[in-house]
Amino acid sequence: MCPPPSFLATDAFYSGVHHVLTAIEVPLHIFGAYVIVTRTPSKMSSVKASLLLLHLVGAYVDVYLSFVTTPVLTLPGCLGYFLGVTLWLGLPSDVMSYWDISLVGVLAVTILIFFEDRYFRLTKGPTAGSRSWKRVFYVVLHYFLSVTFIAPAYYNKMDQQLGRQLIKQLIPCIPAEVPARPDFIILDTDKTLTCWCVGLMFVFLFPQVIFFVFQISWYLYHTVSQSQATNRLQKQFFVALCIQVFIPFALLCFPVIYIIFAIYSGYYNQAATNVAQIAVSCHGILSTLTMLIVHKPYRQETLEFVNIEMKQNTVRSITGIDAKI
């Protein structure tokens, strides 16, 4: 049975929500970068560069997916098309979709490198500032994998004309105008290779993140070679970092569960898929907001900024009233 028609399934709804998200996230990410650069205290200086890199990569992924390409995923197949500005530039759909998927890997690797860098700075001290050739190779290798892990799926991409003929068999409820779009791309109809590529990348990265988080926790809670005040500050900072990274990712659990369910059950509901993708698109906004809240120096700067804006608006309002009187 096909799902009933819904405004949530339309391109107008999907692109409109992403335009709103873009209008929110661009100034928010700029403010977040400004706060990191200008308001990071000296006691956090060792993590300033890696925190800024993590923020900038997340902001880039956010803007690219929300505004530049705005990909529309069509489940249960690995299919889709684009509504972003690149559509009007006439860029190839396969190039845009390849980079969309790769950016997710780049963000995941950046999170891993963030915790890896934090671990070595804690355990090695000032000497961790200059990376050994082994650590440089480690970083380069992971970023290389982040932009190539999906390559096998594209190398074995099915013939697009044949795929368009098979779409109606795979998804009987899909509107005829969707696969007829010139920018519609069919990566994989049976999902096997694409899911393997994404799954292997996840299995490769996630245990490493858990390893470094566990090692940092073990070091902070079992090391007595530093003052209690320093140790307490490091614990507080580490907890704040974990909250900053993992709370936004908790948001992804529900849409990811739905996407996995839709792929493996053959379920088609474009409205639900659009809502799931919009939830994923909110990750960057939630990440920046969490960063501004959980770190005390950033929270204070944000409250001061909001207070100044409120005072200025109040002054304008009072001035306007006086002028009328």
Q: How confident is the model at residue 128 (pLDDT cuts 50, 70, 90)?
A: low
Q: What is the pLDDT of residues 63-103, one digit of tens each?
A: 999 999 999 999 888 889 999 888 888 888 888 889 999 99
Delimit the domains of the chain by residue range.
7-294
At 2, the pLDDT band (50, 70, 90 cuts) reads: confident
Residue with more model confidence, 271 or 324: 271
Mean pLDDT value of segment 11-37: 94
The count of other CB atoms within 10 Å of the CB of residue 128 is 17
Q: What are the distances in angstroms from CA 63 to CA 84, 130, 275?
A: 10, 32, 18
Structure token pair of residue 46: 């060792």
The rounded mean pLDDT for the chain is 85
Task: Give alpha helix (H) positions in 40-148.
Answer: 45-63, 85-89, 93-124, 133-146
Tokens 């858990």, located at residue: 210
In angstroms, the Cα distances linking 248 to 106, 108, 243 are 17, 13, 8
Chain segment 38-63, per-residue pLDDT in tens: 988 887 788 889 899 999 999 999 99
Residue found under tokens 């650069």: 37
In 125-191, alpha helices (H): 133-146, 151-155, 160-170
Question: Is 90 exceeded by the pLDDT of residue 289?
Answer: yes
Q: Has domain 7-294 been given CATH number 1.20.1070.10?
A: yes
Q: Please name which of 63, 57, 61, 107 lies closest in space to residue 84, comparing C-alpha atoms.
A: 63
Q: How far is CA 249 from the centre of its chain?
A: 8
Interatomic CA distance for residues 106 and 82, integer angstroms: 21
Say what the pLDDT of residue 255 is. Answer: 86
CA contacts within 13 A on the Cβ side of 276: 20
Phi/psi-derived region of residue 223, left when phi > 0, alpha when psi is between -120 and 50, beta in every other case: beta
Residue 317 has pLDDT above 50, yes or no: no
Please say if the pLDDT value at position 132 is more than 90.
no
